[in-house]
Amino acid sequence: MKVMWTDELSVGVPELDEQHRRLIDLLNEFYDAIERGDDEQGICKFLEGVEEYTVFHFCAEEQFMIEINYPDLERHQKAHQILISEVKSAQARYQNGDRKAIRELSAFALAWLYSHILKVDKKYGNYCKECPFLNTNLIAKRSSNKCLENAG
């Protein structure tokens, strides 16, 4: 199952929308690699890329929410931890010989991301609309840069 970006998924913050598009693209590429039957090394490389970008995006998104004083930050962080835990669990299962773990992770992650954007991320998008004085895209870019600096 692949997910395609539509305007319905927009949270109204261009920087974060672009990150969501990139995550969807990465997960779709990961799904395609599994469906093609790429070798283990290729699958692991895709998985590492997905994991790295997901961690970066979650950092940027959470930093953004801190800066806009988003009231539901803690619940949002817990939702992010669910995906991170699932990724780590699937990696461990795959390394222990469970070849189904990666296929299951791919399906779970795509469904999770789509649902998460529509049901959870949209809430901070609506919060931003209630605060029109905020330059949300500038704040999001600053948050993303801070996470890039910390990663490097």
H-helix segments, 37-152: 40-67, 73-95, 100-116, 122-129, 136-151
Query: Residue 152: its pLDDT value, please?
Result: 67
Handedness of CA 48, 112, 33, 56 (dihedral sign): negative
Structure tokens at 55: 């961690």
Instruction: Residue 104: give its domain's CATH number.
Output: 1.20.120.50
Residue 150 and residue 152: Cα distance in Å, rounded? 6
Query: Residue 47: its pLDDT value, please?
Result: 83
Summarised one tens digit per residue, pLDDT across range 58-90 is 999 999 999 999 999 999 999 999 999 988 898
Q: Domain total for the chain? A: 1
Examine the pLDDT at 3 and tell me if it is beyond 70.
yes
Q: Which domain holds residue 99?
A: 13-151
Q: Is the pTM of this model over 0.85?
A: yes
Summarised one tens digit per residue, pLDDT across range 90-142 is 889 988 989 888 888 888 888 999 999 999 999 999 999 998 888 998 999 99
- DSSP class of residue 37 equals T
Q: Is 6 domain-assigned?
A: no
Examine the pLDDT at 151 and tell me if it is beyond 80.
no
Q: Is 129 domain-assigned?
A: yes
Query: Residue 74: its pLDDT value, please?
Result: 96
48 contacts: CB under 8 Å, gap ≥ 6? none
- For residue 90, give the nearest of 100, 81, 80 by alpha carbon: 100
